[in-house]
């Protein structure tokens, strides 16, 4: 593995999943592997789960960890080439990436979606520019359009909880008061495609995901039809791809409730967190036995540990 920014960086998915499971069984089995090695995590926007789980994972492998909130601990980073930098940006991403590479062995980078310029977001300009100028492997801690560490943990959780060889997995759009990126949804679809699941995507009209991610998949505007017999219900809000970055109101009844969960095959409720209660999902579902959101969050540690181990092995 040269880095980890999407499922395309994974040569053998089953090996990675098996490694993650092994990490969970014995998190302390490789405490010497990362000795003397440093992970530097750089955040362009806030994070709780990703930050703590990845830091924990690296420390379990014996690594040192340095964390920086780029825009508050540091300063604005210029992303454009050829500009005359006489405005608010104090450092170009070329130097930032080049310098940080010299201070650590692996970089974890959290970028963000502008939700404004779709092409730029989907070209992952910030992540790719950083990687182009970095000289050590880069792990995505979520980018503009993908969140692979989350998806790996999600898939790991589905495998743990599945009662059948080929579970029915529903990805359902959910309401939210603010416009959110499509990253978690896109990434989840990528990882589900690579696994043995019966994936159904459901969302209101106008909230189609990017064609490159969903083509060939089952998509319906009828949430009830989708939920029918589901083993797993993954709820997530995303803003519009076509009317890019706009939030769409008027679909409050897409919230996941106990009543809806009764349509499933005693399905498990999943969400990447943070989740807005009684907007995305009702208290009753989240606090009930069908919710496995904390297991997903828990598996973030082992997903990160598996990815870090793979990178350390090849370093």
Sites of contact with a second copy (CB under 8 A): 28, 31, 36, 38, 40, 43, 46-49, 51-53, 55-56, 59-60, 64, 66, 68-70, 72-75, 78, 81-87, 89-92, 94-96, 98-100, 102-104, 177, 273-279, 283, 286-287, 293-294, 297-298, 301
The nearer residue to a second copy, 58 or 226, going by C-beta atoms, is 58
Provide the minimum distance between the beta carbon of 51 and a second copy in the complex, in angstroms, as a whole number: 7
What is the C-alpha separation between 137 and 143, in angstroms, rounded? 15
Provide the minimum distance between the beta carbon of 217 and a second copy in the complex, in angstroms, as a whole number: 29
Provide the minimum distance between the beta carbon of 299 and a second copy in the complex, in angstroms, as a whole number: 9
Provide the minimum distance between the beta carbon of 183 and a second copy in the complex, in angstroms, as a whole number: 16
Element (H, E) at 218: strand 218-220
DSSP track, 8-24: GG-S-HHHHHHHHHHHH
Q: 293-314 vs 13-25: helix axis angle to the nearest 10? A: 110
The nearer residue to a second copy, 103 or 224, going by C-beta atoms, is 103
Q: 49-60 vs 148-161: helix axis angle to the nearest 10? A: 80
The nearer residue to a second copy, 168 or 268, going by C-beta atoms, is 268
Pairing of strands 77-78, 91-92: parallel
Residue 201 region by backbone torsions, left for phi larger than 0, else alpha for psi between -120 and 50, else beta:
beta
What is the C-alpha separation between 77 and 91, in angstroms, rounded? 5
Tell me which residue of 29, 273, 30, 59 sits closest to 147, measured CA to CA: 273
The nearer residue to a second copy, 59 or 220, going by C-beta atoms, is 59
The nearer residue to a second copy, 29 or 190, going by C-beta atoms, is 29
Provide the minimum distance between the beta carbon of 273 and a second copy in the complex, in angstroms, as a whole number: 6
Say which DSSP state 210 is in: P
The nearer residue to a second copy, 51 or 203, going by C-beta atoms, is 51
Provide the minimum distance between the beta carbon of 42 and a second copy in the complex, in angstroms, as a whole number: 9
φ, ψ for residue 172, nearest 5 deg? -115, 130
Provide the minimum distance between the beta carbon of 278 and a second copy in the complex, in angstroms, as a whole number: 4
DSSP, collapsed to helix, strand or coil, labels residue 168 as: strand
The nearer residue to a second copy, 273 or 315, going by C-beta atoms, is 273
Q: Do the beta carbons of residue 282 and residue 258 sit within 8 Å?
A: yes
Q: Do the beta carbons of residue 41 and residue 308 sit within 8 Å?
A: no
Beta strands in 44-187 (DSSP E): 64-69, 77-78, 91-92, 106-110, 138-140, 168-173
């Amino acid at each position: 593995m040269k880095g980890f920014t999407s499922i395309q960086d994974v040569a053998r998915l089953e090996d990675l999943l098996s490694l993650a499971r092994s990490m969970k069984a014995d998190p302390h089995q490789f405490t010497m592997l990362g000795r003397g090695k440093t992970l530097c995590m750089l955040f362009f926007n806030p994070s709780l789960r990703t930050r703590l789980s990845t830091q924990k994972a690296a420390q379990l492998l014996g690594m040192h960890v340095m964390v920086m909130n780029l825009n508050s601990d540091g300063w604005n980073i210029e992303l454009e080439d050829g500009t005359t930098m006489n405005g608010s940006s104090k450092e170009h991403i070329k130097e930032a990436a080049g310098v940080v590479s010299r201070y650590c062995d692996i970089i974890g980078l959290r970028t963000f979606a502008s939700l404004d310029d779709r092409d730029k977001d989907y070209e992952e300009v910030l992540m790719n520019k950083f990687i182009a100028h970095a000289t050590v492997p880069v792990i995505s801690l979520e980018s503009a359009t993908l969140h692979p560490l989350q998806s790996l943990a999600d898939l790991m959780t589905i495998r743990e909880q599945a009662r059948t060889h080929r579970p029915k997995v529903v990805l359902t759009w959910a309401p939210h008061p603010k416009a959110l990126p499509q990253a978690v949804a896109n990434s989840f679809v990528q990882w589900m495609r690579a696994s043995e699941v019966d994936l159904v995507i459901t969302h209101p009209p106008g909230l189609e995901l990017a064609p490159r991610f969903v083509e060939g998949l089952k998509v319906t505007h009828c949430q009830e039809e989708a939920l029918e017999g589901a083993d797993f219900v993954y709820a997530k809000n995303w803003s519009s791809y076509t009317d890019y970055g706009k939030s769409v109101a008027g679909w409050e009844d897409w919230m996941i409730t106990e009543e809806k969960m009764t349509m499933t095959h005693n399905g498990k409720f999943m969400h990447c967190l943070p989740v807005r209660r009684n907007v995305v999902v009702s208290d009753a579902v989240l606090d009930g036995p069908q919710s496995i959101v904390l297991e997903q969050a828990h598996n973030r540690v082992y997903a990160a540990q598996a990815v870090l181990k793979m990178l350390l092995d090849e370093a």
